[in-house]
Structure 1
Amino acid sequence: MNRKLFAALTASVLCLAPVAAHAQSSDSATVSLSADVEEQCVLGSPSLTTLSLGDMTGPDGKLTSTMTGASALVSAQIDNAWCNAPSTLSVNAEVLSMGTSAPAYATPAGFSRLLTYDAAVSGWPSPVVDSPVNGDTGVSTAAVGAHAESLLLEISGLDTLNSAGTAVASGMVVEAGTYSGAIVLSLSINP
């Protein structure tokens, strides 16, 4: 082959080589990411797990006016309450009763062994109050979206109940003994 022609071809190929390499450097690729977050609710531990009301009656054996009023008698803070989706906060309080420590005889007329109260929880989008009687199922309030808050449980407004524990019977004498009850708070995802 002619040396001049060979030199011209070699120069042409060398000049084209960088152009071809430069065209390849603009390629790209896309990688998509996906993930899931499960719906969940968390209800932290109460600051107090036992709330003591102390002696509830005055010299006449009836609930004192400080016990029956709207002012909070005892309270517990519940930090770290949250749900990452629409949810429901439920409060289900039990009546205060003598339970297993009750005397073997029937409740005398004019006396009560069962007490109701207001168990008020604030901090969720709207407050909720349960005033328990035997057979009720508690009360609930909904949060339409994700929500996080500290909750405050306050007890107030004690009152006496009839012997079945199904209706308020204000002004009865409270029979002596040890009374107990419980309040169950729960957070759940709305279906």
Structure 2
Amino acid sequence: MSAAPLHGLLLCGGASRRMRRDKAQLHYSGEPQLLRAWRLLTAFTDRAFVSVRDSQHDEPLRASLPQLIDTYDAVGPVAGILSAHDAFPDAAWLVIACDLPLLDETTLRTLIAARDPAKEATAFASRFDGLPEPLCTLWEPPIHQRLKQRYEAGSYCPRKVLIQADIHLLPPPGNTLDNINTPQEFEQMQRQLEVLS
């Protein structure tokens, strides 16, 4: 089976309520996380876009990059994923969240090397519960229908879609998919990265 072209989607349309600041603009090692994640994503994809809500369209950091504006209600990451599939239905999507400061090239290279285009998605298992991690996942075109059906039924959790789908599940990639949601986690991550640098 021939593989669909691989596009990239950087999810940064969240409201960052728990962080109380825009997570895309948090600086790690002197650089906004959005730009760091963008560089990673574009190293592995044919085309890439930043997923934004309409109200974020003109925010300067996001406005400097190619955008896909959510065409679904602001119901979390699934709105961005569905909007991307609608815009380019024949593409597979490497989707990553913008709040993964430990994500690295090795992790993305591993994911892409393990891609199975005959499956609905290729994903890593969480190191915490063994369930699929939806926000660093390769979503193939056929899963769009399943995502849309669940959305229309009022279920907005992309992880539950992956649990029900026929996916290729990889072992957890260490701590590289740990995300940052609160000011305390941000401070801890900054200290951790200072030690590593």
Q: Same fold judged by TM-score > 0.5?
A: no
Larger % of helix: which?
2
Range into which the TM-score falls when normalised by the shorter chain? under 0.3
Larger % of strand: which?
1
TM-score normalised according to structure 1 size: 0.24
